[in-house]
Amino acid sequence: MKFLEPHPFELLGPSFASVVDFQPLDNVTNFHINMSLVNDGLEINSLERLKGILKGAVKPQKSLAMVYAGHQFGQKVSQLGDGRGLLIGKLDDLNLDIHIKGAGQTPYSRFGDGRAVSRSVIREYLAGEAMHALNISSSRALMMAFSNETVIRETPEKGSQLLRVSKTHIRFGHFEYFNSLQEKKELKELLDWCIETYFHEFFLEKDKYLLFFKEVVRRTALMIADWQSIGFCHGVMNTDNMSILGETFDYGPYGFMEIYDPKHICNRTDIHGRYSYQNQPLIGLWNCSVLAKNLEAFIEPLQLEDALKEYEIHFQRKLLDNLSKKLGLFERDDRDAFLIQDLLNFMEKNKLDFTQSFLNIEKVLRNEDSFLDDSWIEKFNLRHQKESVDLENRILLSKNNNPKFVLRNFHIQTVIEEINKGEFDGLYAMEEMLREPYEYLESSYEFYKPSMAEFNNLALSCSS
């Protein structure tokens, strides 16, 4: 796996991205390298070059700040862009973008300092690894760099940088930008480049633009169904944070829900609850409809409308499949959705922990004591009598789909505070656990426990 420079997006020209000098941090004190990614086959020379770039010892061949637009909390913003991130190249074998977050000011910084702080970098690093281990499509990170450079947020904090890897950095907002400017030529160039790069199987098809859109809709629906299945809340589902490849992207005030509450809002900036847990599926569809509006020059409106109707089909099918597996069900029954909803209603009414409640399914299957509702358990057992698969395999299916470990914001904060003191043992322990989420490990048993009541379902700010 070799680091290739510069990124081929550069060939599209200056209308699509600005070439910007990367600004390394002053006095880099520590690095943390994602050995899980390195062990996928990253060449030592490539690793050393990337580390050298973050140190400021070598310069990237070309650093790109991409321009895009977006709907932020439902309001259209005609120009956004990479205000603190730079695209510097690709990892060839894995076909992953390499992007530096916290890379300094760009033409799109909008009065920002272009920096990132350690807490946001650590949170994004951990989230990417957690989602990857849960088989949910996500950006990840190869490296974190920590420094003594002061960055001002609510208070002075230490500056950090994240070397992020992702299948793409093309967002819904890229298409919004060119369409809002009525630049049809550039919009078509972007569409063609995306299809040739990421959906080459469609490139020679007569209806390639429709096929592209339908695939974006499908992937978005599947991603959000996966989020709902584990209680994940993104927090900032703006169209400029939505990947065309259905990849969880731009982690900010995210949260893995603890006490089950469909109305839970993980972003304290979101005062109207636009991006609450229960709204995420609808917002995914809304974002796809915004993308559709920006593709009307290339796809018939009725075709776009029909493609959007497929969103709910993909979402409902995937969500039901995911939740059925969590209950240890191999076969499908018309009333399974009602059985699942009854469980969720009980969890909500009794303020039960989302992860711990689904872990209790194994106890129910083994006929052991459980805190779940007796009347629901009776219906659950009757449903399992219809299964033709033996009990142990049903238990195994449930175990393999109910993580024992999820990232909880209170525990993440503990790790952040340790790292800010130069202590990394908590990070190593949490990394080990999040990479084996379906097993109990002895690294740090405290991280399996729900947060204390006052820290349960923490809402965080966008600067997180």
Over residues 325-366, the pLDDT tens digits come to 999 999 999 999 999 999 999 999 999 999 999 999 999 999
Over residues 364-417, the pLDDT tens digits come to 999 999 999 999 999 999 999 999 999 999 999 999 999 999 999 999 999 999
Q: Which helix (H) or strand (E) holds 64?
A: strand 64-66
Q: Which helix (H) or strand (E) holds 195?
A: helix 184-198
Per-domain residue ranges for the chain? 3-166
Residue 97 scores a pLDDT above 90:
yes
The pLDDT assigned to 441 comes to: 92
Q: What percent of the chain has pLDDT over 90?
A: 93
- Angle subtended at Cα 303 by Cα 295 and Cα 75, rounded to the nearest 5 degrees: 40
Question: 31 vs 24, 142, 145, 146, CA distance in Å?
Answer: 13, 11, 5, 6
Instruction: Give the phi and the psi of residue 324 in degrees, each rounded to 5.
Output: -65, -40
Residues marked active site are found at 240
Q: Helix 301-326 crosses helix 391-399 at what angle (to 10 degrees)?
A: 120
The pLDDT assigned to 459 comes to: 83
For the chain, the average pLDDT equals 96
Over residues 223-274, the pLDDT tens digits come to 999 999 999 999 999 999 999 999 999 999 999 999 999 999 999 999 999 9
Arithmetic mean of pLDDT, 84-99: 95
Q: Which residues pair with 77 in a beta bridge?
A: 70
**CB neighbour burial string for 103-112, b if at least 16 within 10 angstroms, e if fewer:** bbbbebbeee
Arithmetic mean of pLDDT, 92-97: 90
The amino acid at 80? L
Verify cis geometry, omega within 30 degrees of 0, for the bond prior to 24: no
First to last CA, the chain: 32
Spatial distance between the Cα atoms of 133 and 407, rounded to a whole number of angstroms: 12
Q: Which of 229, 431, 230, 398 is nearest to 325 (CA)?
A: 398
